[in-house]
Chain A
Amino acid sequence: MKVKTRKIYLEAYDAYADAIYRHCFFRVFSKERAEELMQETFMKTWEYLEEGHDVENLRAFLYRVANNLIIDYVRKKKEMSLEQMAEENPSFEPSDSGHEDMERNVLMGEVREAMDALPEEARQLLVMRYIDDLDPKDIAKLLKITPNHVSVKLNRAMQQLKETFNHAG
């Protein structure tokens, strides 16, 4: 059982590590933190499987774990001093640091600025929908709300994003 679980688990890592990393990145806008959160997500998931629990949908479970870890991280970040925060969350780090493209960095900077201004819930929904490409039904299952509720919240989040984009622009 352990061998099979380990195999399924590692296959899940190969399949979803990138997506979970990206999800984390667009929630915290730090490459280093996103890697840590992704690793922690997989470790927590292993601990859960190791305790003998069955997970029906590993992908959804990973998103749920990542989401909880991010909320925890954001909560702790709020309690940090300004100095700690500067150390914790350096200015934007592009993934392709070897080939910085100014135009791309400007775009990413704007996205970050706009997303940073959003409430955590709005950011979570936008990342799930437009970065993770989850449909409202999947999001509804993850957040344990109805698909209609997801659509309403997404619309509101999109409006907020539009306002912050315009404001930033």
Chain B
Amino acid sequence: MPDNLIEQLKRAKEQVTLAEDRKAAIRARIVETIDSRVRATDALRRPVHAQQARSFGFLARMRVITAVVAVVLVGGAGVSFAAQDALPGDVLYPVKIGVNENVQEALAFSIQAKAQVAISHAENRLDEVSSLSAQGRLDAETETRLRANFEERSQVAEAAIEKLHERDDLQGAASAAVRFEGVLRVHHAVLASLEEDDQDTSGTGGDETDLNNSIRDRIAVLAGLRAHLEMDISEDAARLHVSDALKAAVSAMAFLQEKNNTGDNASARAEVEAKAAVQFAADAQAALDAGSYNTAFVLSNKAIGTAAEARSLATASAHLNGHAKRDGALGDLFKGQDDDEEASSTINGSSTEKIDMNVRTNASSRITASERTGTTESEDKNDDTAENSGRSNSSSGSGVLHFLGF
């Protein structure tokens, strides 16, 4: 080791000191900032420790429920609601994480509800990454933290799905898995598009980020699980799933009506997806009535997955609306894809994807032309096995993924 170099570095080090007055001035600025943040949130925030809330113990639940009541009583419900759209660095962000999400988590009693809440929080982190990125406010540190929280929430969701599976609640497991998959597919595409924008702007080529790689891996695992779950379905599971699919589709339509349609491509696409979800659900009901339980289950998966995508798209569109890079992110995402559906499915290559595309196209065309061009509704039990052998490995549960280039 060249000692003289180390010596030189150490001598250089001795020259660099932070002046006491500068240190004190920065300290004062930090204290002022953190105290004002504490004041802003203290009125709302009860001492609900994240770990206590996550333990789901009775006392922890009671504390959280008390916190909800307290928040409402001090008139903080509005603030709590306003915090829903807060981003890291915003004054209300600690309320979103420390109050809203802890409350949602502690109030989720069933395993399915826990899965749903974890999926929703994982989606929040992805929304935050996209929004900050579109606003040019995403720094490496925030990205690292959001990714870590996304991974943690995703693991909770996956563990809950696994537990449902272990308990033979195939319908519950499938329902949560396709919802999560739908959410991830939309965000994978949005993030990929934002990254492309960045590369176009900076003139650099680039690989996918770690976050998007992680999303892609999770999609693959969920798709595998879904395919597995679709293999052997009882009548009861099919009935429950169809009922869940109808609720998911109707709820997606209502969700879109609540959100202000921004009139852009993404909003329009979200609407098409929601309508397709309704049609998938209707097809699933018809298959169920005809006694084709596996088909009913597969179509229900499509309805639930497509409904989740519609909601995610509408949310992402609302959050990215008005920011400079937004058009690049969501606008381009769907540009020209209506015309290129067949081409894109061919480029993507696999025949299974083409089968999916046909189902999706059939559903859409039925919506617009009120025609029944598909085959699913006329299938009988004999067709059931063949239908599933073609789709079980592919059934994406979604149409939008084809538009997104999966």
Contact = CB atoms under 8 A, between A and B. Distances in A.
A98 B306 CA distance: 67
Interface stretch (B9-17, B64-72, B189-197, B217-225): B9-17
Given A44-B141, A131-B9, A108 B30 contact: no
Contacts of A108: 12, 15
Interface in A97-137: 104, 107-108, 110-111, 126, 130-131
B390 to A, nearest CB: 44
Interface in B7-36: 8-13, 15-19, 22-23, 26-27, 29-31, 33-34
A68 B140 contact: yes
Nearest to A17: B23
A139 interface: no
Contact of B27 (A13, A107, A155): A13
Interface residues of B, number: 46
A90 to B, nearest CB: 16
B30 A13 contact: yes
Contact of A69 (B1, B93, B139): B139
Given A52-B98, A68-B139, A107 B12 contact: yes
Given A52-B98, A162-B5, A46 B34 contact: yes
B141 A39 contact: no
Interface residues of A, number: 50
A51 B30 contact: no
B42 to A, nearest CB: 8
Report which residue of B30, B33, B49 has the largest number of chain A beta carbons within 10 angstroms of its beta carbon: B30
A111 B5 CA distance: 9
A111 B30 contact: no
A10 B29 contact: no
A6 B34 contact: yes
B94 interface: yes
> Which of the listed residues B16, B26, B34, B202 has the most CB atoms from chain A within 10 Å of its own CB?
B16
Given A17-B18, A158-B1, A52 B50 contact: yes
A17 B26 contact: yes
A22 B22 CA distance: 13
A17 to B, nearest CB: 6
A68 B1 CA distance: 28
A94 interface: yes
Interface string A1-26: 11000100110011001100110011
B38 A2 contact: yes
A83 interface: no
A111 B139 contact: no
A35 B5 CA distance: 26
B2 A158 contact: yes
A111 B97 contact: no
Given A47-B88, A50-B94, A26 B13 contact: yes
B37 interface: yes
A47 B89 CA distance: 7
B47 interface: yes
Contacts of B47: 1-2
B2 A18 contact: no
B55 to A, nearest CB: 13
Contacts of A25: 16
Contacts of A42: 26, 30
Nearest to B26: A39
B30 A107 contact: no
Contact of A126 (B9, B29, B144): B9
Nearest to B9: A130
Nearest to B88: A47
Name, among B9, B11, B50, B202, the residue most crowded by chain A CB atoms within 10 Å (CB to CB): B9
A10 B29 CA distance: 12
Contacts of A54: 51
A38 B17 CA distance: 13
A22 B37 contact: no
B6 A130 contact: yes
Interface in B83-113: 88-89, 93-94, 97-98, 102
B145 interface: yes
By Cβ-Cβ distance, the 10 closest A-B pairs, closest first, are: A72-B140, A52-B50, A68-B141, A68-B140, A21-B18, A111-B12, A130-B9, A72-B139, A51-B97, A50-B94
Given A47-B94, A50-B98, A68-B140, 10 more contacts: A1-B49, A13-B27, A17-B27, A22-B13, A43-B33, A43-B34, A79-B202, A96-B17, A110-B8, A155-B1
Interface of A: 1-2, 6, 9-10, 13-14, 17-18, 21-22, 25-26, 35, 38-39, 42-44, 46-48, 50-54, 65, 68-69, 71-72, 75, 79, 94-96, 104, 107-108, 110-111, 126, 130-131, 155, 158, 161-162, 165
29 contacts: A2-B42, A9-B34, A14-B27, A22-B17, A39-B29, A39-B30, A42-B26, A43-B33, A44-B141, A44-B142, A46-B30, A46-B33, A46-B37, A47-B93, A50-B37, A50-B41, A51-B50, A51-B94, A69-B139, A72-B140, A72-B141, A95-B16, A95-B18, A111-B8, A111-B12, A126-B9, A130-B9, A131-B13, A165-B5
Interface of B: 1-2, 5-6, 8-13, 15-19, 22-23, 26-27, 29-31, 33-34, 37-38, 41-42, 47, 49-51, 88-89, 93-94, 97-98, 102, 139-142, 144-145, 202
